[in-house]
Amino acid sequence: MGRVYIVDEDVEGYLSKLCPQQAGPVTGLLIGQSSAQKDYVVIAAPTPKDEESAGKTVDKEWVSEHARQVSRMLPGGLTVLGVFMITDADAKDTVTTLRQLVFGVEKLISSEQQWSPAEDDVTDCVTLHVNPKTRKTVCRTFDIKDPKSTAKPAEWKYQSGVGSSWTTVSCWLNVDLFIPLPESRTTKGSAHKCLQEGLNVWTQQIENAVFLINGKKLPEDSELTSGQRRNVRQTYTAQLLTTVEEQRSAHVLQRCGGSVSVRGAAHCRAFLHTHKPKVKLAEKLLKRDAISTVATRVQMLLDEPLASEEQIKDTSGDKQQTEENCLPRRIFCPLRASGSLHVCDYQFSDEGLSEIVDRLKEMLDIDTAEEDLDTTQEMTAEITQSSFPTDPPEETNEELEPKRNNYIGAFMAAAAALLATAASMIYFSDM
């Protein structure tokens, strides 16, 4: 037998509820956490209706795009494990479609992942076929790192309480990221490439950071919940201490046309299933969440119309152009009232909480109220007067104050298009 999937009984009830609702095939995502021996499934999220789709066929690109957006809403420890399909077609006839879906989903999600894969990462993704009439399920897995992978049988087991009493590890991370931009950005995507390279350098710093639990450096192979009661929710406060790399490449003088600064404090959070989680796993998942939440916000800013490629171009003359942009703040939503698991979304300064509620419903089919959202971890960003000289160069500030005073900072996102300067020289080193 192949991998074993332990599935929350709420997922069983939810899939059953979907069975009689649609005439055509219903697709969606399976979300949870992987481990070496077992995977834990806690959410089933159906693909939102596509207005341009007739509903009688499976739109593979739409399913993949849904997975990309959902992946941004998952804190550390929760990932898209695979896909499901509810259809009265024979299970054998759906293998090819499910295979294409799971590979397409993984390809698009991984294209946005900044962190480096680990040797112990699980590469099997699950596909689930549900017959709406008989309610029979057929579970298979594919190795998404092997293009020639074929379907392997897997075991699908429903249990109660899978989504409760998970261990939570969180921290507030101070961010100070500076990225120089090229002098000429007439080539499409050149500014985005510089941003990507700058994020890669910062990612390496986070991956090499010292990980502390409650102020202590613990052996990575030790059990995180050692000495604690089993099946009881545990919460830990962590720290990620970064240092400037001593071994540097040669300092470089580079002609630049602008820069982007991202500064502030981000709330990071990871969830671990309570079956003997190790310190090493907690460190990996929290660091990945830290990397993902910052990269996601930068990408969301670039997705905004003001940061479109058409506006990322050189300015003429000597006058500089500077644009101040607030990165969105992170808001958490509990999966259920008594559970320890949360998902998240990002709120721009011009959005209300009702829009967060609507997105949670559309993307994850979660019904929640505004008062149930956790908005206390990060405060709304505010634009403050620049503390830099205005003649030249000029910088910008957007403050994003976290819950803890000792992590006060500013998310600073000066749009690449609007920070262009005429042939300025920036001296920097590869951090």
Domain ranges of the chain: 4-159, 167-327+381-428
Q: Report the CATH architecture of 4-159.
A: 3-Layer(aba) Sandwich (3.40)
At 152, list the tokens.
């392997």
Q: What residues contact residue 275 under an 8 Å CB cut-off, 6+ apart?
A: 35
- Tokens 């720290």 correspond to 239
Q: What is the pLDDT of residues 172-200, one digit of tens each?
A: 998 888 888 776 655 546 777 888 888 99
Please state, as a whole number, how many other Cβ atoms lie within 10 Å of the Cβ of residue 253: 9
Number of neighbouring beta carbons within 10 Å of residue 397: 21
The answer to whether the Cα torsion of 397, 400, 401, 407 is positive or negative is negative
Q: Which pLDDT score is estimated for 270?
A: 97
pTM of the model: 0.83
User: Of the candidates 135, 58, 145, 156, which has an alpha carbon nearest to the alpha carbon of residue 107?
Assistant: 145
E-only strand ranges, 281-335:
324-325, 329-334
Give 424's contacts (C-beta < 8 A, 6+ positions apart).
Answer: 255, 256, 257, 258, 392, 393
- pLDDT at residue 239 tops 80: yes
Calpha distance 44→12 (Å, rounded): 9
Residue type, 355: E
Q: Which two tokens stand for residue 309?
A: 């490629």
**81, 288, 296, 298 from 196: Cα distances, Å:** 26, 16, 12, 10
Identify the CA nearest to 407 among candidates 248, 129, 124, 171. 171
Which residues, in sequence order, are bridge partners of residue 111? none
pLDDT at 382 over 90: no
- Residue with the larger pLDDT of the pair 226 and 426: 226
CA 76/CA 321 separation, integer angstroms = 37
Structure tokens at 150: 């074929």
Strand order in the sheet with 167-182: 210-213, 235-241, 167-182, 252-272, 424-428
Kindly state the average pLDDT of the residues 302-319: 49
Non-local (6+) Cβ contacts of 155 within 8 A are 1, 2, 3, 4, 5, 139
Exposure of 143 by Cβ count < 10 A (0-12 exposed, 13-18 middle, 19+ buried)? Answer: middle
For residue 227, what pLDDT is reported?
A: 60
Q: What per-residue confidence (pLDDT) applies to 178?
A: 83
Q: Is the pLDDT of residue 391 over 50?
A: no
